[in-house]
Amino acid sequence: MEKTPFQQGSKRHESRATVGVATADVSPDWRKGLPAFKLATCTLREVHREDAASLMAHLSTEDVSRFILPPPHSVEGFEGYIAKAHRDREVGQYACFAVVPDGVDSAVGVFQLRQLEAGFATAEWGFAMGSAFWGAGLFIQCAKQVLEFAFDTVGVQRLEARAAVMNGRGNGALRKIGAVQEGVLRRSFKRHGQFFDQVLWSVLAEDWRLQRSARRGRVH
């Protein structure tokens, strides 16, 4: 999670959006353009150049950036990051979704997915969101949808995430969506000249589908 963000989350009629399944409104071939999903209280869509200023404002604060690689230092830097995200998506190596809450015009966070091996069978995901939107329920909505996209559209079989041991919020978020803690990677992340241990988390496609079936089975 630390490295991915800027390396070059009546019951019978529960809405599909709230269980992480929504209808895409663009090409089903994600390499040509990522699908956009309308969720319960936000939209998850491809990051756009016009999001650069908003992302800089929300993701460059110390409370957000302390456990990730340093974000770009300017709006132009974010524009370059977004342009590269599009290029990497076109060759099938990377996907970057913007989180746009209802009533807000621009992105306040990102969810990213990148391949760790050719063919995307194993991938890593990461996320970052402006602190003003922490605790608003956006992470769960978006994380479930990104997992659906990764497993059902891209074909990922194993999805990994890494979070600094002291990053309680990040580790708690991963645990909340059913990720499994596999171990601790010692001194695996360097930030501001200091090395941190990271927790390695994983979600397997088969486990996610079993969880999804169980959730739907509880809907009465």
Give tens-digit pLDDT for 113-139. 999 999 999 999 999 999 999 999 999
List pLDDT tens digits, range 200-210. Answer: 999 999 999 99
The Cα–Cα gap between 111 and 138 comes to: 11
pTM: 0.86
What SS3 class is residue 167? coil
pLDDT at 126: 95
The Cα–Cα gap between 83 and 64 comes to: 22
Kindly tell me if the per-residue pLDDT of 24 is higher than 70: no
End-to-end CA distance of the chain, in Å?
A: 35
Within 10 A of 153 (CB to CB), how many other CB atoms are there?
15
From the list 201, 181, 189, the residue with the least C-alpha distance to 164 is 189
List pLDDT tens digits, range 92-119. Answer: 999 999 999 999 999 999 999 999 999 9
Give me the helices (H) in the chain, please. 52-59, 62-65, 75-90, 138-148, 168-176, 205-217
Q: CB-side exposure of 102: number of CA atoms within 13 Å?
A: 10
- The domains located in the chain, with CATH, are 11-156+212-217 (3.40.630.30)
Q: Which residues pair with 99 in a beta bridge?
A: 44, 109
Kindly tell me if the per-residue pLDDT of 15 is higher than 80: no
The Cα–Cα gap between 26 and 126 comes to: 23
For 32-84, give the secondary structure using H, E and C: HCCCCEECCCEEEEECCHHHHHHHHHHHCCHHHHCCCCCCCCCHHHHHHHHHH
